[in-house]
Structure 1
């Protein structure tokens, strides 16, 4: 439990150096924390008690609970509107006439076999949401942290001198190839985020028997209906076969309560809204990144927005003479440097480009492998 709390704390803390953006953080911070916490809560009895309680022939038996939890529970689809026992209805009359064809029809039995796997699936989804962050963190390799050093504080330090300024200018102006690869790798991770969240919608929909995707969840909710009543019923039946005194098989049924479904239903409703919202936000972020890389004048305005008191002419000189990778790492530095430091860096790059100095080799102290 302590290790789990430490992991959540490491995700929630605000890093000194930001190597990604807000949308990226929604994937590996907020989403991962919610999924991991939900997975832990589902497995904790002190909050919800036993996940299932079954009554058979007027008795409660742990063996019935275990059997129904492991094998399956079910409801009858055409009795979901029953006000007294929704999903159960006139069960005994129905089961006598049940046929394989009826089981597949609208009046068939709906089985639930996924309750015991929800905590594992949530943990797996959390791992998948964290994967792009893990990949990008390894590819980034602490580059921004090394470049920013102690230059992000509200007060200027002695670390910001002419030598440090010249080293940063040389690194940004001359690091064309490695910076382009750096930027493309970040684009790949943003694409990975989008593919992952869309895949999570498909995976969850398959896991919940096709009841998760589509707009019916939203429309049912707006109409005051329970959109996941077939997926997370609170009352279910469980059929138990045993041998009678004559050796014949007796089919017995138990009435089961699933208190955990009160939490599961609310959780997956939130997940439905959140996954679709995150998909849209990730698509917009990916489009923004593509425009940033492909359209120079957009980089001009973004650089002006990032730097105070910098004219459009200065921004054009920088953007049109350095690569998109250089602009990307310069913009990332703007998220981590003191505003005064960043403005002086921008002015220094502009003066360097205008002075037509001969290109000098990179300083080995700030050169990073691709």
Structure 2
């Protein structure tokens, strides 16, 4: 756990070698910073007071608002944990590969945004999944008043002169719920955006994994229009893992130097296996 907390410093550090993609950064950087900021604001915003209830006849017991700041920290750890695993498994190998050229393992663990939505839905008693829609559609009475009440009944226990416990009722204002309401609304929009972006990234990863033609397209794009036949030769003769490393190197290398690297790989493949069908330069055969 200490190692995970120490690795948080990378959230504000600009990386010279990119070992992950922008979708992953949205999860472990933007979301983690957002959740930690929300937690810090909540832990410094408690102001008790008195007020009048909206509907004294309605009784609803909700205690989750007391733990929201802790929940945000736990969620931040959950969002960052795949990044920690990736850094541990990658172990600086890509930086080492690039160290002589310019001054991997699993692409990333796709964060289950749907799982986070279900967790928050459970936390606030089934009111999170439709939170943003309900908030946007209300006219006069805020539907979230029942989820994050601003005024609540407080019961104080005190022992009387004879030693018997006495109960005293009061009204307490919950200013933290004003913040909670806004923070959860922001989280609703953000998590559903992450869910959509992550779904698109999953489709991209599926194409990357199962469609060789797509890898040929990516290789040509990185090398600035490398010959299709030569790109096809390279893709056909290396494994998925090798192509992934090659693709990551292309993300961090000058296109001209990268093209020379791929050209060298192509020439090595052709000379190593003279019986292999090498696609002629300029061909569109795939």
Contact 1:8 / 1:33 at 8 angstroms: preserved in 2? no
Preserved CA contact (<8 Å) 1:304 1:311: yes
Counterparts of 1:324 and 1:199, CA distance in 2: 29
Unpaired runs of 5+ in structure 2?
Answer: 275-286
Q: Structure 1-normalised TM-score?
A: 0.66
Matched-pair contact (CA < 8 Å) for 1:307–1:339 = yes
TM-score (norm 2): 0.84
| Aligned alpha-carbon RMSD (Å) | 2.7
Tell me if the contact between 1:217 and 1:228 (Cα under 8 Å) persists in the aligned partners. no
Q: 1:325 aligns with which of 241, 249, 259?
A: 241
Change (3 A) 1:8 1:228: farther
| C-alpha distance after superposition, 1:44-77 (max 9, x if no partner) | 2xxx3x343247xxxxxxxxxxxxxxxxxxxxxx
User: Does 1:88 pair with 2:9?
Assistant: no
Aligned to 1:345: 261
CA separation in 2, counterparts of 1:347 and 1:354?
A: 11
Q: Does 1:110 align with 2:60?
A: yes
Match of 2:135 among 215, 220, 225: 220
1:115 to partner: Cα distance: 2.2
8 Å CA contact 1:221–1:227 kept in 2: the answer is: no
Equivalent residue runs for 1:79-228 within 5 Å: 88-89=54-55, 91=56, 94=57, 108-149=58-99, 151-153=101-103, 182-183=104-105, 185-186=106-107, 189-190=109-110, 193-194=111-112, 197-214=113-130, 217-224=132-139, 226-228=142-144
Distance in 2 between the 1:243 and 1:36 partners? 40
Structure 1 residue runs without a partner (length 5+): 56-84, 95-107, 154-181, 359-370
* 3-state SS of 1:228 partner: helix
Residue 248 of structure 1 and its aligned partner are, at CA, apart by 8.6
2:229 alignment counterpart = 313
The higher relative CO (CA closer than 8 Å, separation ≥ 6) is in 1
Report Cα offsets for 1:301-342 as digits up to 9, x if no partner. 111111113122221111112111111111111111122211
CA distance in structure 2 between the partners assigned to 1:314 and 1:277 by the alignment? 39
The alignment of Structure 1 onto Structure 2 pairs a total of residues equal to: 269
How far residue 146 of structure 1 moved from its aligned partner, in angstroms, is: 0.4
SS in 1 for 2:170: strand
CA contact (8 A) 2:132 2:189 kept: no
What is the rounded CA distance, in whole Å, between the counterparts of 1:42 and 1:51 in structure 2?
11
CA distance in structure 2 between the partners assigned to 1:325 and 1:344 by the alignment: 21
Once the two structures are superposed, the pairs formed by residues 37-116 of structure 1 within 5 Å of their partners are 37-44=37-44, 48=45, 50-54=46-50, 88-89=54-55, 91=56, 94=57, 108-116=58-66
